[in-house]
Chains A and B, each alone.
Chain A
Amino acid sequence: MSETSSSLTLPDPAPQKTSFSGTLYRGNEGMWSWVLHRITGVAIYFFLLVHVLDTALIRVSPEAYNAVMATYKNPIMGLGETVLVGAVVLHALNGLRVIMVDVWPWATRNQRPLFWIVMGLVVVLMAYFVPNHLINVFSPMEGGH
């Protein structure tokens, strides 16, 4: 579609055959990318809050700091780190998409493919990170974290 179209030839949004039935608001890529962005943003915020507190502990008592850090070195925390990295990667890449959508008309028009590019990049980056990270988490190497 051209950037502007005359009002004489109204583009009728092509009705898509819909199999959805229900009442939850059915947004498309744009809405779900925003939902993910807010969830990951809030999740990262709470992680950072805790992280600032536990790191600050080192100024209070290095022993306590070491004790807290030791509790983090278990597989459940390892999986949590995987989720955290995934959230940060998604939030950062989609954040770049949102910035482009706001300032670059081309990106405004192509926000949908851009969303799928972001998702693709997240999958690729995580496909690289997750196996490496999990090997670290589950192999009983000392010093590994």
Chain B
Amino acid sequence: MSDTQLPQGDPKGQDSGVHPAHSGPTGAPTPMADRPDTASTDDQSSAHQVAEAAAQSSTEPKPVENEYDGADRETQPAPSHDVPESFNVTVIVRRYDPEVDDEPRWVDYDVQMYPTERILDALHRIKWEQDPSLAFRRSCAHGICGSDAMRINGKNRLACKALVKDFDISKPIYVEAIKGLPLEKDLIVNMEPFFDSYREIQPFLQAASKPEKERHQTIAQRERFDDTTKCILCAACTTSCPVFWTDGQYFGPAAIVNAHRFIFDSRDEASQVRLDILNDKEGVWRCRTTFNCTDACPRGIQVTKAIAEVKQALISGVKL
């Protein structure tokens, strides 16, 4: 970035350190560093006292006691922080247009990126500035909606949570669609098989009793399934599973996570129904504990642990 784009004031690193609010508390060597007995806070408060004394000794009587003319206000602009440098990143995207391509193909893009940006920003830049035909899903852009799970450098993540600075940008960054679901276009897959499995485990509260007010639950009972309530249905886990890649019929971690969320809910009465569904040949017993799902989950859900708990519930009953 050129200097003309810098906010006015100190160019990076040129701060003289005289600004009272900026010297001292950072712990950086300051003129006070040779006086360890003088805490930097003292130093600041003494600066305030000087300012107050100066205001009181003014010859002009102040008509209003509270009047504040802003004389002792900080007049310097806030110290500028280092302006991040942009750098060139090579992003290689696995493109596929069913109307043109027989096979997906890898396409290179050079993008200028800042370390604070994410892979999603790189995809935006490619789509907005280089090739508007690039197709991918995203909605919230902040890790909530779960639409932009993709395989980035061989690992499932949300593009909107994958920071560029966490990658080695001396090498290209590979971006491709999640694996195991039918590829529709570029980074978009058909999510229907995924949602079919989700629907099949009946992801809704089933309780016949009608309480007078609300259904009571203790903190401990709520805590029991708290982890699995966090799922955003991004499919990062299911499409990271080697079993799912080779056997698309497998329910997959996400469906089991959402079954877990109700199986271990003390208010729900259909745990056994869901357990019977997951006792299927394509159910929990397909899990080979590779922990790819746990590593991939952008919500930090302990997915393999949840699956293990469902397996245990099938063997020895639900322990709430």
Contact = CB atoms under 8 A, between A and B. Distances in A.
A22 B223 contact: no
B230 A10 contact: yes
A101 interface: yes
A108 B312 CA distance: 12
Contacts of B155: 18, 20, 25-26
A6 B230 CA distance: 10
Interface stretch (B63-71, B75-83, B182-190, B300-308): B300-308
B300 A11 contact: yes
A101 B166 contact: no
B101 to A, nearest CB: 17
Interface residues of B, number: 42
A19 interface: yes
Contact of B153 (A22, A28, A29, A101): A22
A23 interface: yes
Interface stretch (B1-9, B169-177, B193-201): B169-177
Contact of A15 (B154, B166, B173, B174): B166
Contacts of B298: 13
Interface stretch (B20-28, B44-52, B206-214, B288-296): B288-296
Contacts of A27: 240, 242, 290-292, 295
A23 B308 CA distance: 29
Contacts of A30: 289-292, 294-295, 304
A132 interface: no
Given A4-B223, A23-B154, A108-B305, A31 B167 contact: no
Given A4-B226, A5-B226, A13-B297, A101 B154 contact: no
A19 B226 contact: no
A122 B127 CA distance: 50
B171 A19 contact: yes
A76 interface: no
Size band of the A side of the interface?
35 or more
A98 B154 CA distance: 25
B227 interface: yes
Nearest to A98: B289
A22 B288 CA distance: 25
Query: Of residues B168, B288, B289, which shows the largest number of chain A Cβ atoms within 10 Å of its Cβ?
Result: B289
Interface in A108-126: 108-109, 111
A120 to B, nearest CB: 19
A21 B171 contact: yes
A59 interface: no
Contacts of B95: none
Given A10-B299, A105-B305, A108-B304, A18 B153 contact: yes
A60 to B, nearest CB: 39
A22 B172 CA distance: 8
A21 B292 contact: no
B163 interface: yes
A23 B304 contact: no
A13 B300 contact: yes
A101 B230 contact: no
A7 B153 contact: no
A26 to B, nearest CB: 4
B242 A34 contact: yes
A4 B227 contact: yes
Contacts of A105: 305, 308-309
B242 A21 contact: no
A58 to B, nearest CB: 38
Contacts of B176: 23
A25 B289 contact: no
Given A18-B153, A30-B294, 16 more contacts: A6-B223, A7-B226, A10-B230, A10-B299, A13-B300, A21-B167, A22-B153, A23-B94, A23-B154, A25-B155, A25-B292, A27-B242, A27-B291, A27-B292, A103-B312, A108-B302
Nearest first, the 9 A-B pairs at minimum CB distance are: A30-B291, A21-B171, A26-B154, A11-B300, A19-B168, A31-B290, A15-B166, A34-B290, A30-B290
18 contacts: A4-B223, A6-B223, A7-B230, A10-B230, A10-B299, A13-B300, A16-B166, A17-B166, A20-B153, A20-B155, A22-B174, A25-B154, A29-B291, A30-B291, A30-B292, A103-B308, A105-B308, A108-B302
